[in-house]
Chain A
Amino acid sequence: MAVKRERFWPGVLALILALALSAQPLPDWAQVWRPDWIALVMIYLAIHSPRQFILGSALLVGLLLDALYGTPLGQYALSLIICCYPALKLHLRLMLVPIWQTTLSAVLFTALYQFMLFWCNGATGNDPGAASYLAPLLSNAIVWPLVLAALDRLRLGPRTKS
């Protein structure tokens, strides 16, 4: 299957898009429901192209998010790394299971991500408002299949059916 070297630009493109989506201004009521675009894309990459410096890119993208959000440098990076780790470990299994199972695991991993953010906020003395950390998990579950489809398309081209 892995005959030709995998291209890296789809991943980079997806990450830039996800960063842009994370910076997109939303109305107040919708902010709480913003999906964790970056985390979802990173999980996808960890599962489907696990050989491409996942940890390094998680670190870099996380630092960019920190700069974007003005959080202590390393908060988003740490959360992303922690959330990519299980995805990376289980990628062989996750590549094969049906879509509802990957959705479930993506939600679980992003729950880990949210928990790390929550913990970092608490540890650095910023007020963590507990309940709204759960809201993105639902939107993550909803957008995950879309992310999956879009990235498959981007990575494998329009004709290949996976």
Chain B
Amino acid sequence: MRTFIAAVVCVAAMLTDQRTSWGEQPRAILMSMVYPLQLATETPARLLDWSQDSTRSRADLARENARLKRERLLADARLQQLNAISAENERLRAMLDARPRVGNDVRVAQILSVDNDPFRHRIVINKGADDGVFQRQALVDATGVVGQVVDVGKLNANVMLISDPGHAIQVEVVRNGLRTVAFGAGEFDRLEIRFLPNNADIQVGDLLVTTSLGGDYPAGYPVGEIISVEQRPRQAFAQVVASPAAALTRMREVLLLTPDTPADGTTDGG
């Protein structure tokens, strides 16, 4: 009898959590309770990293340093151009009487451990509500969009990757502005674009970036690149596959984006 009641309570909890947002508060508490555990399981990997770092030879470090300096130089050069371009963009937008675009504030978060449920692509990061993380906040790494925050704890947060089978993201083809949706396929190296007609103008090598239409992601961040287009004359839609731009399996750190501030005058960054 008690089992039955407990089971009913669980089912009710599941339904409320699924359909409403009442579960957020208890979930935040539970997530704070498992945080020490997550930190503890993380320790062996950290120790390994640390021991590797501290036993690295001087020559290795010097080589890495040189490489980083080279990369920094390249990035700086590109940034100069970018500054000029963004100034120009601002002027043009001023001419068009459009609100200037605000640069996104970013915050670095570390990935604690990759989720264990093989059917869900979730990760845990070490920033939570205390650091200003909120639900549906977008995350990127150095090369592209990573995913969005789904559950927020006090000190940690769960992130759904763009490759999660339950995830979909509004994208735009850079070449021609074609807008579509990229779905996660449950594999780290592919996204599916399911609802493009057979005659859509899309080809292998096309770059996909975020649009601001979906609402969750700020516009203009790279999502992926088309790797195969297969026209299927007998079916309604072509089969289009993209590979994510972000290194979803190899990242240790991610950037949390704060979205463009709404038009109420409180602009930050820029």
A interface residue numbers (CB < 8 A to B): 16, 19-20, 22-26, 28, 31-32, 34, 55, 58-59, 62-64, 66-75, 77-78, 81-82, 85, 88, 120-121, 124-129, 132
Q: Are B3 and A81 in contact, with the CB atoms below 8 A?
A: yes
Q: Are A73 and B116 in contact, with the CB atoms below 8 A?
A: no
Q: Are A78 and B10 in contact, with the CB atoms below 8 A?
A: yes
In addition to A25-B113, A32-B118, A81-B7, 14 A-B residue pairs with Cβ atoms within 8 Å of each other are: A26-B116, A31-B116, A58-B6, A62-B10, A69-B115, A73-B27, A74-B12, A77-B13, A82-B3, A125-B166, A126-B119, A126-B166, A127-B119, A127-B186
C-alpha spacing A132/B138, complex, angstroms: 31
Q: Are A121 and B10 in contact, with the CB atoms below 8 A?
A: no
Interfacial chain B residues near A125, Cβ < 8 Å: 166
Q: Are B33 and A64 in contact, with the CB atoms below 8 A?
A: yes
B268 at the interface (CB under 8 A from A): no
Interfacial chain A residues near B2, Cβ < 8 Å: 55
Contacts between chains A and B (CB distance < 8 A), count? 121
Interfacial chain A residues near B115, Cβ < 8 Å: 69-70
Interfacial chain A residues near B119, Cβ < 8 Å: 121, 126-129, 132
C-alpha spacing A70/B17, complex, angstroms: 11
Consensus secondary structure, chain A interface = helix
Tell me the nearest residue of chain B to A127, going by C-beta.
B165
Q: Are B18 and A72 in contact, with the CB atoms below 8 A?
A: yes
B residues contacting the other copy or chain, number (CB 8 A): 41
C-alpha spacing A162/B153, complex, angstroms: 44
Q: Are B118 and A70 in contact, with the CB atoms below 8 A?
A: no
C-alpha spacing A124/B151, complex, angstroms: 16
Q: Are A73 and B37 in contact, with the CB atoms below 8 A?
A: no
C-alpha spacing A62/B10, complex, angstroms: 10
Interfacial chain A residues near B30, Cβ < 8 Å: 63-64, 66-67, 73
Interfacial chain A residues near B116, Cβ < 8 Å: 22-26, 31, 34, 69
Complex interface residues of chain B between 28 and 45 (CB less than 8 A to chain A) = 30-31, 33-34, 37-38, 40-41, 45
B129 at the interface (CB under 8 A from A): no
Q: Are B14 and A75 in contact, with the CB atoms below 8 A?
A: yes
Q: Are A67 and B31 in contact, with the CB atoms below 8 A?
A: yes
